[in-house]
A and B are shown apart, each in its own frame.
Chain A
Amino acid sequence: MLEAVILIILVVGGAAALSWPLGKYMTALFSGKYARFDSGVARVVGPVPDQDWKRYAIALISFNALMFAFVFALLARQHLLPLNPDGQSAASLDLVFNTAASFTTNTNLQHYSGESTWSYLAQLGGLMWLQFVSAASGIAALAALARGLGGQSTMGNFFMDAGRAAFALLLPLAVVFATILAIRGVPMTLEGAAVATTLEGATQTIARGPAAAFVAIKQLGTNGGGFFGPNSTHPMENPDFWANIAEMIAILLIPMACVWMFGGLIGRMKHAGVVFGVMLAFLLVKIGGAVTFESTPTQAFADLAVMQDTGNLEGKELRLGATTGPLWSVLTTSTSNGSVGAMHDSLNPLTGLMPMAGMWLNATFGGVGVGMIGMFLYVVVAVFIAGMMIGRTPEYLGHKIEGHEMRLAVLALFSHALLILGGTAIFAATPWGQDTLNNIGAHGFSEILYEFSSAAANNGSGFEGLDDDTPAWNIATGLVMLIGRFLPIIVPLAIVGSLMAKSRRAESAGTLSVEGATFGGMLAITVLIFGALTFFPAAALGPIAEHTALMR
């Protein structure tokens, strides 16, 4: 138990400590403090006029459309292109569609196993490239939103912001983390698989590749798609305890820093502190729950001649320590990362509920940029409800929240629920889902529920027993990922655009404070009711049913 607590403090505390200076740097970067760098970006992308919310959104969508189209073409033709030492063949078009959509939307849902599907060129030039630019898109959107809320007359320029994010934030951090990972043993080579003759005389072909570079940006950009199929349970993707710590800190680092950047750009650090506190509280509760639930030994071994003194070890790796599986599962789904340090399909039933809840809320730090945008939606709703309760015009940072903004906010929040619950309902009731399960009963339902939650939340992890490389799954989740990514980016930009058009009021003694513990509590309750309660029936049918029926 002490071991678990120390590890959690190391990872969560370490990430939080590092996020503070990083957040300050990001505030400076997106405020244009580095003029020489900015003019360098301007020289590269061309003229960078200031944009209002509509133009910013169109720019973002245009570039993302190019992202999708380019990588679709690259993946579809990978068998004809160079840098394919292991001779990967052509992939099916529905898988290409799903993968291109997946990495464009920062989801990194993988209905494939990397080392046996994609060539090095596809992984590097297609998927890793998307990991950089999709993360950059999300961070840019947050900067734009914050500028509008902070009272500026424009949202900035998308290409300038994306360039700042990609070249001055993600790239240097990636180099640092990739170096750490390489030193700990993650391979970094363009040679094809190695062939070994084992001690007992068998042949073992061992996949390797340019993994260190890939894994670094996978974690930092809350992408999550692994170089190898089993993600960070694969010994070459996560070779030892210290690489493991670095990878976990990398999951949280930029999402946490984004909260500080938000606060810096709107000029209200105390408010950012309250938001950070609420997110951290949710995170710690989920971590506590997951670690506790996972310490119950594997139920299937209960009456057998097996020692019952360790927790559930199915799907876990020994070198990572017992706490890693559940801890990582919460971190990865709280941040829409999606990488895994243990197999989620083999987690104890209630442990599996923690990552699901993280994806349903999608804002307890959330993805880079978009997590804070998601929490902004909850803040708008919380302020509105609080205002109604005390009979005052709802106001957030001097902006009046009226019917139009509320309708948009509720649209964005409910679309998330609709995508998840609607998709799950359809697939649970038809062979599309039923024929692809790896586990029967309530756990099978959980597999379907998890997959749609992961796609809608742009997470990318999964209960990987699900046979998800089918046209039905590929197309359905592809569409859900696209809607789940762009709707919750464009709608908040529209909300802030609408607020910017109104006159801003100075705050008075009568204004509802967004900086105290009271507001923090209000925000937490709003998140719980809108986020968690909506999904309670689904949770009851899946993980909770499995727990009550089968666990002793």
Chain B
Amino acid sequence: MMSYFLPSLRFWLASLLVCVIAYTALMLALAQALVPAKASGSLVERGGEIIGSALIAQDFTSDRYFWPRPSAIDYDGMGAGASNLSPTSADLTERAQGLIARHGATPENPLPADLVAASGGGLDPHISFDAAMFQASRVAASRGLGTDEVRALIEQEAFTPGGIFTSGRIVNVLALNLALDAAAE
């Protein structure tokens, strides 16, 4: 057994040194050198304060702002997760009914599905283009702006996540709301 123990020990040490310590140090150096802001979490600042991350959804409840996708974990940046409900679950229907009422959707003006379906991590920072357009009139009315003005802002912020490989457009909610606030000033 000794003839297996010694090489095991040596390989253990070598792999720790190379695959953990050296590899981590190398990646830290590379990442911080090439993309320092992204390496630290893509944090967004306004007025010198950290107000969130471009990658992470935050809660918005005021009529003046666009609302993000539902989150099963209440936008907890330390406790990401999903509902893990089966798509046939009655709990899902109940949750959806609450959201439909909150958004004021009707059968003639139905809610885009991404505003009713919770995301996998609970921190999805985007909403679909349709979801943004759906909320445009509420936001415009609340801020005393023209709906066309708000729609134009959405068009500006919308992008296709995969270039030519994806068809629908999406919008980053935080970026959109920041642009809204900036336009107001």
Tell me the A residues contacting B by CB distance below 8 Å.
3, 6-7, 10, 44-48, 58-59, 62-63, 66-67, 70, 86, 113, 115-116, 124-125, 128-129, 132-133, 136, 159, 162-163, 166-167, 170-171, 174-175, 178-179, 182-191, 193-200, 202, 204-208, 210, 212-213, 217, 228-230, 233-236, 239-242, 297-301, 304-310, 312-322, 340-343, 345-349, 438-439, 443, 463-465, 546, 550-551
Question: A129-B19, A217-B19, A241-B165 given. 8 additional CB < 8 A pairs?
Answer: A62-B5, A159-B11, A175-B27, A187-B42, A233-B120, A315-B83, A321-B165, A546-B88
Q: Which residues 80-94 of B sit at the A interface, judged by CB distance below 8 A? A: 80-90, 92-93
Chain A residues with CB under 8 Å of B50's CB are 194-197
Chain A residues with CB under 8 Å of B92's CB are 298, 300-301, 314
Shortest Cβ distance from A303 into B: residue: B93
Expressed in whole angstroms, the minimum distance between the Cβ of B95 and any Cβ of chain A is: 9
CA distance A187 to B36 in the complex (A): 9
Contact A297 B113 (CB under 8 A): yes
Chain B residues with CB under 8 Å of A170's CB are 19
CA distance A133 to B122 in the complex (A): 32
Q: Which residues 106-143 of B sit at the A interface, judged by CB distance below 8 A? A: 106-107, 109-114, 116-128, 130
Contact A198 B58 (CB under 8 A): yes
CA distance A305 to B116 in the complex (A): 10
- Contact partner of B166 (CB less than 8 A), chosen from A115, A234, A321, is A321
CA distance A174 to B19 in the complex (A): 10
Q: Which residues 13-48 of B sit at the A interface, judged by CB distance below 8 A? A: 14-16, 18-20, 23-24, 26-28, 30-32, 34-35, 38-43
Chain B residues with CB under 8 Å of A228's CB are 80, 121
Expressed in whole angstroms, the minimum distance between the Cβ of B17 and any Cβ of chain A is: 10
In the complex with contacts A213-B23, A241-B162, A241-B165, A235-B31 CB distance below 8 A: no
Contact A307 B112 (CB under 8 A): yes
- Contact partner of B119 (CB less than 8 A), chosen from A136, A202, A312, A318, is A318
In the complex with contacts A45-B11, A298-B113, A308-B113, A196-B32 CB distance below 8 A: no
- Contact partner of A182 (CB less than 8 A), chosen from B30, B82, B177, is B30
Expressed in whole angstroms, the minimum distance between the Cβ of A460 and any Cβ of chain B is: 16
Q: List 6 A-B contacts (CB under 8 A).
A: A58-B4, A204-B52, A208-B41, A239-B55, A301-B92, A306-B116
Is B170 an interface position by the 8 A CB rule?
yes
Chain A residues with CB under 8 Å of B90's CB are 300
Contact A200 B18 (CB under 8 A): no
- Contact partner of B8 (CB less than 8 A), chosen from A62, A307, A465, is A62
Is B150 an interface position by the 8 A CB rule?
no
Contact A346 B27 (CB under 8 A): no
Chain B residues with CB under 8 Å of A166's CB are 15, 18-19
In the complex with contacts A204-B77, A550-B88, A174-B23 CB distance below 8 A: yes
- Contact partner of B127 (CB less than 8 A), chosen from A129, A318, A320, is A318
As a 0/1 sequence over residues 143 to 170 of chain B, the CB contacts with chain A under 8 angstroms (1 = contact) are 0000000000000000001110111101
Expressed in whole angstroms, the minimum distance between the Cβ of B180 and any Cβ of chain A is: 10
Contact B14 A45 (CB under 8 A): yes
Contact A301 B12 (CB under 8 A): no
In the complex with contacts A300-B92, A304-B100, A204-B27 CB distance below 8 A: no
- Contact partner of B41 (CB less than 8 A), chosen from A128, A206, A309, is A206
CA distance A2 to B85 in the complex (A): 29
Chain A residues with CB under 8 Å of B130's CB are 307
Expressed in whole angstroms, the minimum distance between the Cβ of A235 and any Cβ of chain B is: 4
Chain A residues with CB under 8 Å of B183's CB are none
CA distance A131 to B108 in the complex (A): 52
Contact A438 B10 (CB under 8 A): no
Contact B39 A199 (CB under 8 A): no
Chain B residues with CB under 8 Å of A346's CB are 82-87
Chain B residues with CB under 8 Å of A345's CB are 82, 84-86
Is B184 an interface position by the 8 A CB rule?
no
- Contact partner of B24 (CB less than 8 A), chosen from A187, A213, A298, A551, is A213
In the complex with contacts A234-B121, A241-B162, A320-B161, A63-B4 CB distance below 8 A: yes
Interface centre among B41, B65, B111, B128 (most CB of A within 10 A): B41
Contact B120 A343 (CB under 8 A): yes
Chain B residues with CB under 8 Å of A298's CB are 87, 92, 113, 116-117
Expressed in whole angstroms, the minimum distance between the Cβ of B28 and any Cβ of chain A is: 6
CA distance A438 to B30 in the complex (A): 42
Chain A residues with CB under 8 Å of B106's CB are 305
Expressed in whole angstroms, the minimum distance between the Cβ of B114 and any Cβ of chain A is: 5
Shortest Cβ distance from B5 into A: residue: A62
